[in-house]
Structures are given as C-alpha cells and as structure tokens.
Structure 1
C-alpha cells in the first residue's frame, strides 16, 4: 500500500494525535499547537505532537511563539516535541535554532488490512482481549508493557490511573499475550478516524524473538478489519520496523523527535 499525498496520510496522523491526546489527563489542546500533558514524569507522556502552519512568518516567529506557549503548558514535567509530517514547514530547523536536540525519528508505517501477512501464535502462548477497568487489571497491563517503554515501578500508579480511563474507551481494545498464565506481551488497537492504529506493542525481554509481538499486532489488526476498517497504521521502533515490514507494512513518513534544552528543566 502506498500513500502518495498528505491527504491520504492525514487520517493516520489524526489517529496518532487522537491516541496521544488521550494521555492528556492534566491538559491537552488540538489547535494550531497540538499538545498533551499527562503530568507524569515521562517525556513520551507529555509532548507537542504537531505545529500547524500559522501566518507563514518566514522569520520563524510562529515557531518561537509556539515554543514559548509549549514551555508554559508543559512546565514542570519532562517533555518532547514531535515534528509531524504535516507540521509547519521548517519546524525542525527552527527548533534546533532554539536549542532543541534532535534525538531520533519514528517511521509511520501503513498496511491495507486485507493484505496483512498471516502470523502464527507461538506455541504455548495465548492471546486474549483484556477487559476491565479495575486497578488490578490495569496494573497488570502497565507492568506488562512498562519495561519496554521506560515506565518504571515508580510510575506505575499514576499510569494506572490514566489506563483506567483508556479501559473505558470503546475506541481502544487491549490485547495481552500469556504464557503459563503470565502476561508476556501487549498491544492496543485504537479505532479512530477510520483507521486501525496499533500502539503499545511490547514483549517481555526474556520472551522476545519468538513472534509474540507480531502475533499481537496481527490480533489488533484483525479486530480492526472485523470493525470494518481498511487501513492499519503504527509508529515503529528500530527493532520493530523489520518485523512490521514482513507483515506487509510500508513506511510512508516519519516523526522527528526533539528534546528541549536541558537548561529548561
């Protein structure tokens, strides 16, 4: 599947924004400056995710004003700035001029749901939908994906609080892989803007390289297909991208990730 224009990519980027805005328990905005603030001390859980074109100030005043606003909105927590494929032209360069450090990029990958390659579930592993918003269920969920995303034990309780809201959201379906009754992997389907977004794909370190993450991703995509969706999307890590490519995903764009100056902490 090839995405030839920003218009075709737009629903996938909108799915991503909608998902991350769901983490904005302490504040969010989806206007010219799209940002979310969970209030949790984790840079991925507080971020600017898009800056749309304003008046087209060639001197960069739009970006400078947006940075000032973001610095106020996200003060007191670690945060990141994602430069989206549909961000204002030159945003990354303007951020660098103001002391931001480019720390990486995440490919945006896409697949037609009727073309997903079959993925067998590894022997001894069972994949189930995780239901329930009680603290115990949500804590198990967070502990299963936490190590892969840098969510340490000290952050479990506040993240569980937000995950309880996610557990009640009909757009989100949580999948867990179990082996011997233990949760060893996770994935989440987010049904928004007509797209099957896949998030929180994680496998416990000692269970990796067995196909558990791919099987979880396939389960989430199949649920999207069952719901009548036609396109799946995700943002891949360096380790995950080759796995997703074997499943039929294609890279169609990327998010660039910037960290604000350390002196602002």
Structure 2
C-alpha cells in the first residue's frame, strides 16, 4: 500500500495546532476533516487558524462561513493553511475575500533510520524538561523566526511545549546560554518538527541540523517512523542535505481584517 506522505504530514500538523491550543486553554473545532484552532491571543500568526485534511471537504464557502462565525465569537483573526494543488477552491476563495497571502512553506518528509550525528565543538544539546528549558527554547527561536511577541508568549508556556508525545531540545554554548532549539510532536507515526531556530551569531556551525537530529531521535523513541516539517527558505537546503524530501507545500493566507 502506498503511503500518502503529505496526508500524514497534514494530519500531524493539525494535531500540533490542536494540541498547543488545547494545552493553553484555547478552543478547537473539527468538522468533517476541517480543523480550526483558536489560542489565547487574537493574532492570526500560528495560534489561530484552520487546515482542511480532506480533499474538497468541507467546501470552501462553508469553511469561510463557519470560520468567520467561530473566530468572531472571541474577536480573533485567523490564518488559512492551503495545501497547494489540493485546496485550489480554498485558495480561490481566500483571494476573492481579500485575505493576505503571507508565505509559502515546503512540506518535507524524512524516512528511514536516523544516522549518528555529532554536536559541534563548544556546544551541548540537552532535552527540555522544565519551565526554564522552555524559556530557553523561546529565547533561541523567537528572534530567528521574527516571532510576534504574542506568539512567543504562548510558546514560552510549559504547557504549550511539554505535553504527552512532545519533546524539545536546546543547544547551549560553553557559558550555558541557549543558541539553538527544536521541538517535536508525534502523531500518526510522524514526528512533526517545529520551532527549529539558531541565533545569528551561532549559525554556520551545524547546530540547526544537530538539534533537528536530536529532536527527531526523541520523536522516534516515542514511536515515530518518519519525520515531517515545514521548511523556511534558510532551512530548506539544510533539510535536503539531511535527507528530507519535498512532498508538497502550504500557502498561508491571513484574515487580518476580521471578516
């Protein structure tokens, strides 16, 4: 049987958003393959959004009617994660409604056993187990991601990052300062990788790949047999060298007007 790698990545991403929202007291609504999540802040960036995990269901007009009502209940804007090539009707409706196109992100999957890897000299990589470690994750990734303060404030909460079937690692320099981090959530046999970032002064040393391998190992230890992520332009060539392969892409639109 052929495995639909993109479908598994979609389901894992939906679980990530679902889990983070629930863990910080947000809301989740699921209707016939549509997943919508609403966090603790009205920003459409990551913490309020929707994705459709079934092709053409529900129809685009129904999705937007429902999303407008549901997010309006709490006064939040939202993002729409369009699966390029699968959600043409959803993309057309987003453009027609004047939603702002934010960015395109390749969806990449890694399959197979994990190789041995080395930690660059002068650094250590350790799992995150407490609130202090979560703050280190936020410190290491907020600037590289140009993360809005409201998003960083949510992701710096331990309950958002440390929950069942999640794991995180932090790389620190000789002085114990966090310089890179990565996070994973395991579902559907997939270790979904996110929050991979390296501070600018520590780049070019292989830390991004090292924390990614380390957090993938944590995901495999929780039962994953493959890994998936959405790649930034900076990260994409790194992940290709690691053995990840493109399986699709997301085009993200944002309702910044509060339709």
Do Structure 1 and Structure 2 share a fold, with TM-score over 0.5? Answer: yes
1:92 aligns with 2:80: no
1:14 aligns with 2:11: yes
Quickly say closer, same or farther: Cα 1:118–1:51, change in 2 above 3 A: closer
Which of the two has greater helix per residue?
1
User: Unpaired runs of 5+ in structure 1?
Assistant: none
| Partner-residue secondary structure (3-state), 1:23 | helix
Quickly say closer, same or farther: Cα 1:242–1:178, change in 2 above 3 A: same
Q: State whether residues 51 and 88 of structure 1, in contact with CA within 8 Å, keep that contact through their aligned partners in structure 2.
A: no
Quickly say closer, same or farther: Cα 1:225–1:165, change in 2 above 3 A: closer
Find 2:128's aligned residue among 123, 127, 130: 130
Q: Residues of 2 paired with 1:208 and 1:217: CA distance?
A: 14
Tell which deviates more after alignment, 143-152 or 118-127.
143-152
Which residue of 1 is the match for residue 246 of structure 2?
Answer: 251
TM-score (ref. length: structure 1): 0.83
Q: Residues of 2 paired with 1:71 and 1:45: CA distance?
A: 12
TM-score (ref. length: structure 2): 0.84
Q: Over aligned residue pairs, what C-alpha RMSD do you find?
A: 2.7
Quickly say closer, same or farther: Cα 1:154–1:48, change in 2 above 3 A: closer
Quickly say closer, same or farther: Cα 1:149–1:229, change in 2 above 3 A: same
1:145 aligns with 2:145: no
Q: Residues of 2 paired with 1:123 and 1:110: CA distance?
A: 28
Q: Render the CA deviation track for 1:32-61: whole Å, top value 9, x for unaligned.
A: 4311111225412211122743465xxx63
| Partner-residue secondary structure (3-state), 1:239 | coil
| Partner-residue secondary structure (3-state), 1:196 | strand
Which residue of 2 is the match for residue 35 of structure 1?
Answer: 36
Tell which deviates more after alignment, 30-39 or 169-178.
30-39
Q: State whether residues 102 and 257 of structure 1, in contact with CA within 8 Å, keep that contact through their aligned partners in structure 2.
A: yes
Q: Residues of 1 paired with 2:143 and 2:93: CA distance?
A: 33
Which residue of 2 is the match for residue 112 of structure 1?
Answer: 111
Q: Residues of 2 paired with 1:158 and 1:228: CA distance?
A: 27
| Partner-residue secondary structure (3-state), 1:35 | strand
| Partner-residue secondary structure (3-state), 1:147 | coil
1:65 offset after TM fit, Å?
Answer: 2.2
